[in-house]
Amino acid sequence: PSEAALHQVRDQFPGLHENELIYLDNAATTQKPDVVLKAMDDFYKTSNANVHRGAHRLSDLATRAFEGARDKVQAFINAPAREEVLFTRGTTESMNLLAQSLGQHLLQPGDEILIDTWAHHACIVPWQQIAAKTGAKLVPIPLLNDGELDQSAYQSLLSEKTKVVSLTHISNALGKRAPIERMIPKAKAQGAYVVIDGAQAVAHEAVDVQALGCDFYAFSGHKCYGPTGIGVLWGKRALLEQMPPYQYGGEMIDTVSFEGTQFNTLPYKFEAGTPAIAEAIGLGRALEFIQELGIDRIAAHEAALMAKAKNELAKIGKLTLLAAKGSNHGALSFNVTGEHHQDIGILLDQEGIAVRCGHHCCQPLMQSLGLKGSCRVSFALYNTEEEVDAFVSALADIVEFLDD
């Protein structure tokens, strides 16, 4: 967006103004625009009822708003069918659903699940647990020295044993983007199912699940200007039809007797109980908000902020940027030689700058890099060049202060 448009956009985020902070922790969660807060508030004020039940008008209104949100998600990721869009609590629940349901349906002793070394614990742990139960094996795709995924190792790890390939679209810890357009067809050629963790991608680039050719795609509402408590698992219909339910209860059934249960059709088979109705509506509005601004314009703005940050940070001695060769998308990690990342984060916070410090829920990645953790800055559409300048100058002062 142009600078003028940008200021208007910033004005639409009350969280940025209530707290006098330079908020550079957007990979953890984004601030929410007024339109999202209003959509949720309006739902509770004007249409609050449970969905998919009740013969009454209010329930019909609520159901239409909730199912309308599903249509918005479908359009946003270009899913072929609305029934393939499952609402979950977030990427973590999407991965648990998939690992338990697909894993139980598919995995046999000796089967392999390939997973990239960038993977978030939300991907690693569910697959690791189902692997232990089924006798399958979790096999990491290693990194090259520059932090990129080792593509030749990936190619040689793929075999007839590979049943699932789990790939991180954009790494939350490093901001690196996997060449999934090239990696997905290789897995498909081996007959493996491919799941993409899109938690860090949907706010930063256009996602088209049909063009990608993956089998499953997961993301969280709160990382793309929507509320917490809502996320998505998209999956191909034929697979979802075959997979057993993940949770059992109301909504996900067709008929129940004490002798047995017939399950509901998609997507309801995977949505037991009363869903997060207001949150789904908020997510739908957030995706529209992104589309109104234009994801390509947002990406261009964030890329400019990233280029400026990398350029300026490179001038600070004792600072190591992680995996900064090539492009970084949304997030950039760094360490200060001889200093603990947590101390840097606390000192930045004292200057009113919010960043994330730690292992970023990627302990195996940190082990592979030989690190305990890092500091991470991450950008959103409302961040400005002035904020990047303020951050770099605060960090330069901190490094100098610690040096004395």
- 142 three-state secondary structure: coil
Span near ligand PMP by CB under 6 A; candidates 57-65, 175-183, 193-201, 350-358: 193-201
Q: How many helices (H) and strands (E) does the chain have?
A: 15, 15
Give dist(CA 70, CA 79) in Å, integer.
11
Q: Applying CB under 6 A, which of residues 200, 264, 333, 374 lies at the interface with ligand PMP?
A: 200
Query: How many Å separate Cα 359 from the centre of its chain?
Result: 17
Contacts of 169 (CB under 8 A, 6+ apart): 177, 178, 180, 196, 197, 198, 199, 200, 201, 207
**Phi/psi of residue 379, each to 5°?**
-105, 155
Q: Applying CB under 6 A, which of residues 25, 116, 197, 205 lies at the interface with ligand PMP?
A: 197
Work out how close the CB of 44 gets to ligand PMP at its nearest, in angstroms, rounded to a whole number.
Answer: 23
For residues 122 and 143, which CB has a smaller minimum distance to ligand PMP in the complex? 122
Q: Is position 378 an interface residue for ligand PMP (rule: CB under 6 A)?
A: no
Q: Give the residue ranges of DSSP H helices in 12-163.
A: 14-18, 34-46, 57-77, 91-106, 121-134, 151-157
Q: Applying CB under 6 A, which of residues 199, 224, 232, 357 lies at the interface with ligand PMP?
A: 199
Give dist(CA 341, CA 375) in Å, integer.
6
**Phi/psi of residue 310, each to 5°?**
-65, -40
Q: Applying CB under 6 A, which of residues 26, 31, 63, 92 lies at the interface with ligand PMP?
A: 92
Residue with tokens 């030689």: 337
Q: Is position 122 an interface residue for ligand PMP (rule: CB under 6 A)?
A: yes
Q: Is position 90 an interface residue for ligand PMP (rule: CB under 6 A)?
A: yes
3-state helix, strand, coil in the chain (%, to 5): 45, 15, 35
Work out how close the CB of 207 gets to ligand PMP at its nearest, in angstroms, rounded to a whole number.
Answer: 14
Q: 292-326 in b/e burial notation, b at 16+ Cβ within 10 A?
A: ebebeebbebbbebbeebbebbeebeebebbbbee
Q: Is position 120 an interface residue for ligand PMP (rule: CB under 6 A)?
A: yes
Q: Applying CB under 6 A, which of residues 37, 61, 354, 361 lies at the interface with ligand PMP?
A: 361
What's the full length of the chain, in residues? 404
Q: Applying CB under 6 A, which of residues 172, 264, 333, 383 lies at the interface with ligand PMP?
A: 172
**Residue 357: active-site member:** no
**How many residues belong to the site for ligand PMP (CB under 6 A)?**
12
The mark string for 231-270 relative to ligand PMP (x by CB under 6 A, - otherwise) is ----------------------------------------
Q: Which of 123, 214, 224, 361 does the annotation list as catalytic?
A: 361
Q: Applying CB under 6 A, which of residues 47, 101, 220, 383 lies at the interface with ligand PMP?
A: 220
Span near ligand PMP by CB under 6 A; candidates 194-202, 206-214, 308-316, 395-403: 194-202
> What does the binding site for ligand PMP look like in residue numbers (CB under 6 A)?
90-92, 120, 122, 168, 172, 197, 199-200, 220, 361
Active site (catalytic) residues: 361
